[in-house]
Structure 1
Amino acid sequence: MYWESGTAHLLPRPLRLPDGTSRTHGPLFLSERRPVPARRPAAADLCPRTGRARPGYDRARVLLEMYAGLDLHQLRHSAATHLGEAEIPLQLIMGKTRHENPRTALRYVEPGAEAIAAVTEVLAPRRRTH
């Protein structure tokens, strides 16, 4: 995963453990409690030091709304749309958003009026100058 520099500077905060040490691998964000044995997720979704699991999408959505007043899906949509407006190729947007099918990624990439005008200008015949 790639992070912008501002985000990267904040990453040590959620990685810090109560004893002052930091986690070096495992999920970035953790649930409040350890999962019960019957609901134990895959090893990749568990912190090897604390045994706590990565929160599910629904829990992450609730926490983001509660503490930041933001909609998780809208953030994803906005980021992909900004990439599209910056003329980033669809293949790179798919890689960033982890979409496997171009049709599903296309709904996030809606070019604005300025982008349409720029494309129209490329196709316009050159004017002769005397």
Structure 2
Amino acid sequence: MCPETGRAPLSYRRAEEIFEENTRLLANPLASPDDIEDLDGWTLHWLRHSALTHDAEDGTSTPMLLARSRHASVRSLERYARPGVDSVARYVAERDPAARRRT
């Protein structure tokens, strides 16, 4: 129970329903609000994927990503943490010893 509201915590399923319901127009920016019932919103699973991807793009270590995601293997983590080409290039450039000597 929440000490401030006196309400029980939401189940994962209910939290996901509320999140998806409230992100339908954000996930479909060209849609009309009249069509909201027919749209899919974002899911908590998508949010988890996005958070792990952003962490990976920021250079978070693999052991930390595994701990945060609670995955047991790197193989299962690969589905979630997929940094983009630009992020990988930036990461490599920041750690290039030759580039550091030039500045």
What are structure 2's unaligned runs of at least 5 residues? 24-41
* Aligned position for 1:39: none
* Aligned position for 1:35: none
> CA contact under 8 A between 2:57 and 2:88: conserved in structure 1?
no
Report the CA distance between 1:111 and its aligned residue.
2.2
* Structure 1 consecutive aligned stretches of length 4 or more whose deviation exceeds 6 Å: none
* Aligned position for 1:94: 66
Equivalent pairs counted in the alignment come to: 79
Report the CA distance between 1:113 and its aligned residue.
2.1
Asked if residue 122 in structure 1 is aligned to residue 96 in structure 2, the reply is yes
For residues 77-100 of structure 1, give each alpha carbon's deviation from its aligned partner in whole angstroms, at most 9, with x where no partner exists.
Answer: 110000000010111111111111
Aligned residue for 1:87, secondary structure, equals coil
For residues 45-92 of structure 1, give each alpha carbon's deviation from its aligned partner in whole angstroms, at most 9, with x where no partner exists.
Answer: xxxxxxxxxx2x3332112223x3242111101100000000101111
What are structure 1's unaligned runs of at least 5 residues? 1-13, 31-54
Report the CA distance between 1:15 and its aligned residue.
4.3
Aligned residue for 2:96, secondary structure, equals helix
Higher helix share: 2
* Aligned position for 2:46: 74
Greater Cα radius of gyration, structure 1 or 2: 1
Aligned residue type for 2:70? R
Distance in 1, matches of 2:65 and 2:84, equals: 16
Quickly say closer, same or farther: Cα 1:15–1:78, change in 2 above 3 A: farther
Aligned residue type for 2:96? V
Aligned residue type for 2:14? R
* Aligned position for 2:75: 103
Aligned residue for 2:65, secondary structure, equals helix
Query: Normalized against structure 2, the TM-score is what?
Result: 0.58
- Paired-residue identity, %: 32
